[in-house]
Amino acid sequence: MKKLIQTIKNIFKIEELRKRILYTLGLLVIYRLGSFIVLPGIDSAQLANLQNTASEGLVGLLNMFSGGAFGNASIFALGVMPYISASIVIQLLGVFVPYFRKLQMEGESGRRKMNQYTRYLTILIICIQGPAYMAALHNQIPASAFVAVNQLGWSNFWFNLVSTVILLGGTMFVMWLGERITDRGIGNGISLIIMVGIIARLPFALTAEVAEKFNANAGGGLLILVVELVVLFFVFVAAIALVQAVRKVPVQYAKRVIGNKQYGGVRQYIPMKINAAGVMPIIFAQALMLFPLIFSRFDSTRGLAAVFSNYTGFWYNLVFGFLVVIFTYFYTAVTVNPTMMAEDMRKNGGFIPGVKPGKKTAEYLDSIMSRVTLPGSFFLALIAILPAFAMLCGVNNQFASFYGGTSLLILVGVVLDTLQQIESYLLMRHYDGLMKTGRLKGRSGM
């Protein structure tokens, strides 16, 4: 405890780090306040039915990602999900379209252009999701709640158009907050915004779970609740341990030492992580699972949305797990380039014994990476569908999402990444790190 207090003091002794942390907290507070600002022209007192609907199925997941803004009919109701969806499309284009593939290889200038295209595509997606969200509002809340239509005489068309523009501005403002946090704060801004939204829903989920257990089991409700909390604690600790674990496959190769004319005398390793993609495959897969809901106007009883709104259903978990595996391979292929690794080895005079430099080395590294990624993809898929097993064991659907899936990995991953950045500032100023033994092992991918 004494060491923890001293570490916190050291953090605030570093002026730059202190300013970055306070700046980040300030922007996150602004985001949380904005999630309670209801769209103009809607009576906030009549949103009870919408909030009840937004606590179940995929709508509940979307509401959790937005920190409750979806159920509050807030100006931030769509959150960052349109931006994530646009990022998925742009990264897919980087694989299949030569122009975007070229941008990926242009470094910082290419990244800026791709970010600009992502923003344009985000606007296009909001133009689809905005009217769908407004249609859902008209279906879920009473007609008397639309004050602008009933009392000011606005037509539904103009009210929906103005509200869509406000939702567009809200999402773009949230994106701007995320970019400012990334540039001038601490941690990844978009990831922190998602994490704060998830944490904000935890008290409501816990309250719903407590009420359900005490109503259903007058005698053993408390005992069951204590067991669930203990299990959740161990799941969270296990997730931290797994994410922090350094799981690498050492690919041994020989490096020629030019200076003293020794060849093949030095052995080095190429680190290949089992999970090089981090939590991004689950986020991508979850975003695609939301598409049927969007095109059914956020009505979980229509079409494919009815099938994919059942967390415990066979088809939902099968498709979700399959998408996680596919996106793990895809994101690993985007972030890990065997051809570039082979070229760097050749330039530095390195080689893999028994494998020719150049194309053969790239093919060898690619085959090894494919094999290493397979268990990592299955691990992510298992984590992704854990909430379904929790619900089958009687856990409330809101509270069950914290037993695995996107929520758990985002919380663990973002916290570790942020702590790793804080620790780097401490170590640069010759302070002790956040951990007693060794450096904190972060995780890439968010």
CA distances from 193 to 30, 89, 174, 314 (A): 11, 21, 8, 31
**Cβ 180 vs Cβ 414: under 8 Å:** no
Nearest to 307 by CA among 297, 318, 81, 323: 318
Q: Is the pLDDT of residue 158 over 70?
A: yes
Least confident of 110-114, 156-160, 430-434: 430-434
350 pairs with which residues across the strands? 255
Look up the CATH number of the domain holding residue 48. Answer: 1.10.3370.10
Name the percent of the chain lying above pLDDT 70. 76
pLDDT tens digit string along 277-300? 667 787 778 777 776 666 665 655
Give Cα 181 distance to the centre of its chain.
16
Question: Is the residue at 440 inside a domain?
Answer: no
Q: CA-CA distance, 405 to 235, in Å (whole number)? A: 11
pLDDT tens digit string along 298-310? 655 565 656 666 6
Q: CA-CA distance, 167 to 77, in Å (whole number)? A: 7
Residue range of the domain that includes 103: 2-428
Question: Is the residue at 207 inside a domain?
Answer: yes
Question: Is the residue at 436 inside a domain?
Answer: no
What's the pLDDT at 299? 58
Question: Is the residue at 363 inside a domain?
Answer: yes
More confident residue, 248 or 355: 355
42 pairs with which residues across the strands? 146
Question: Is the residue at 83 inside a domain?
Answer: yes
259 confidence band (pLDDT: 50, 70, 90): very low
Tokens describing residue 140 = 């879920």
**Cβ 105 vs Cβ 111: under 8 Å:** no
CA distances from 224 to 218, 268, 270, 392, 393 (A): 11, 52, 47, 14, 11
Question: Is the residue at 439 inside a domain?
Answer: no
Q: How would you class 143 by CB atoms within 10 Å of its CB: exposed for 0-12, middle for 13-18, buried for 19 or more? A: exposed
Question: Is the residue at 204 inside a domain?
Answer: yes
Q: Is the pLDDT of residue 58 over 80?
A: no
Q: Is the pLDDT of residue 245 over 70?
A: no
Q: CA-CA distance, 191 to 84, in Å (whole number)? A: 10
Q: CA-CA distance, 403 to 343, in Å (whole number)? A: 43
Instruction: State mean pLDDT over 247-259.
Output: 51
What's the pLDDT at 174? 92
Number of domains observed in the structure of the chain: 1
**Cβ 296 vs Cβ 304: under 8 Å:** yes
Angle between helical axes of 359-392 and 280-289 (0-180°, round to 10) = 60
Question: Is the residue at 82 inside a domain?
Answer: yes
